[in-house]
Amino acid sequence: MTSKIIGVGSCIPSEVINNLYFQSHDFFDESGLKLDQDNVEIVRKLTEITGIEERRYAHKTLVTSDLGVVAARLAIENSKIDPETLDYIIFAHNFGDVPYGNIQSDAVPSLASRVKHQLRIKNNYCVAYDVLFGCPGWIEGFIQANAFIRSGIAKNCLVIGAETLSRVVDIHDRDSMIYADGAGAVVITITKDDIGVKSHLSASHTLNEKDFLYFGTSYNSETLSDTKFIKMNGRKIYEFALSQVPQAMKKCFDESGYKINQLSKIIIHQANEKMDQEIVKRFYKLYDLPVPTDIMPMSINKLGNSSVATIPTLLSMILNNELQTHHIQENDIVLFASVGAGMNINALVYKF
C-alpha cells in the first residue's frame, strides 16, 4: 500500500518581471561596497549562470496563502474528490503571509488553516498544518502525507507549496534577482496498485552548513534599517549541492529497486539552471553514464526560483501538457529532488 497523485494544480502569478526590471537597481556586496560592474553586465551574468530570463511576482493584493488557495482548488477539481474527504492539508512555505509593502510576516493561524477556511471545509477532522523545511518543503510534505496514508490514518491528502519571495528580498543584493512567487499543489490518495511512491529520503546537514541560507540586513549600509531579508552564500551552496545531492538522489533511487535505465524524468527544484544541470550530470556519473536527452524539464528560465513551489508547479505544468517539450506517460519512473535552507535535502521516486 502506498499513495498516488490524483490531482494537480498551480498558481503562476500574472505579473511578469523580466531582467530589464533590475537595470536601475543599486547593487552592493556583503561589505556594503557598490558593485563595480554595470547592471547590464550583472544581469547578463545572472542569465548565463541561472538561466533566468524572467520571473513572476504576485499581485500586490495577494499573499502566499492566497496563491496556495488557487493551486489547491485546481488540484481538488482535477482530482474530482469531495474536499470534505481530505484528511490532511499540508502547506509548505518558509515566510508565512507577507503583505506587499509590509516588513512583518504573518503565520498565525497557519497558512494551511487559512486554506482550509477559504475552501469552506466543514470536516473538523481534516487536519491543517504547515511545514517549514526550506526549498525541499513541498517534497517533505508529500513524504509526510504518504506516511499518513501508508499508516492507515489517512486516505486523501492535499499538499501545497507556495511562496512570495519577492516580499523578503533585499533589492540591493544581486541574489534577489533569482527569486520569484508561485504555488503548486497535489491531491494524493491511497492505492494498492503498482504505482505511486516507491522510495524517499530526507537529510538535514546542520553541523557546518546551517547558515548557508539565512536572514540578514540589507547590503546597502545607508538604509539604517534593521529589516532582515533572505541571504545566501551562493558559492558554498553550490559546492554543497554538487557534493551532497547526487549521492542522496542515488541512494533514494537505488532503494526504489529500479534500474537507472528505467528512469524517465528528474524533476528537481528549480534553483539555478547551471547547478541543476551539474547535479544531474554528477548523479549519472555515479552510474558511469552520460545524461540522457530530455531527462530534466526546466521552468526556471520563465518562472524563476519560487522555493517550495517550483516542483509542484513544474509537475502540474507537465501533467497538464503546458510544457511542450516534456511529457509524463503511464508507467514512467520519476525522481524528485530538492536542496535548500537548513541545509536540507530530500528525494522521492514515483511511478506514474
CATH code (residue 264) = 3.40.47.10
* pLDDT tens by residue, 170-221: 999 999 999 999 999 999 999 999 999 999 999 999 999 999 999 988 888 8
Instruction: Based on the fold, state whether residues 107 and 218 are members of the same structural domain.
Output: no
Q: What per-residue confidence (pLDDT) applies to 222?
A: 81
Contacts of 198 (CB under 8 A, 6+ apart): 2, 256, 257, 258, 333, 349, 350, 351
pLDDT in tens, 249-273: 999 999 999 999 999 999 999 999 9
Residues 209, 184 share a domain = no
Final residue belonging to a domain, choices 158, 193, 228: 193
* 10 and 151 share one domain: yes
Same domain, 129 and 229: no
Number of domains, the chain: 2
* Residue 224 pLDDT greater than 70, yes or no: no
Is the model's pTM score more than 0.75? yes
Longest dimension (CA), the chain: 61
Q: Quick one: 82 and 128 in the same domain?
A: yes
Least confident of 10-14, 41-45, 127-131, 288-292: 41-45
Same domain, 178 and 243: no
Q: Are residues 148 and 219 in the same domain?
A: no
Take residue 327 and report the three cell numbers written for it.
511529457
- Residue 315's domain spans which residues? 198-351
Cis, peptide link before residue 109, omega less than 30° from 0: yes
The answer on 175 and 259 residing in a single domain is no
Please report the pLDDT score of residue 15 as a whole number.
Answer: 95
Q: What is the pLDDT of residue 120?
A: 98
Report, as an integer, the average pLDDT of 107-117: 97
59 with 187, same domain?
A: yes
Do 213 and 156 reside in the same domain of the chain?
Answer: no
Domain end, chosen from 193, 211, 228, is at 193
Same-domain check for residues 265 and 303 = yes
Residue 204: other Cβ atoms inside 10 A: 15
> From CA 25, how far away is CA 177, in angstroms rounded?
10
Cα dihedral 62→11→79→139 (10° resolution)? -100
Q: Is the predicted pLDDT of residue 223 greater than 80, yes or no?
A: no
Tell me which of 193, 224, 242 is where a domain ends: 193
- At 279, is the secondary structure helix, strand, or coil? helix
Q: Does residue 139 sit in the same domain as residue 202?
A: no
Does 71 have pLDDT greater than 80?
Answer: yes
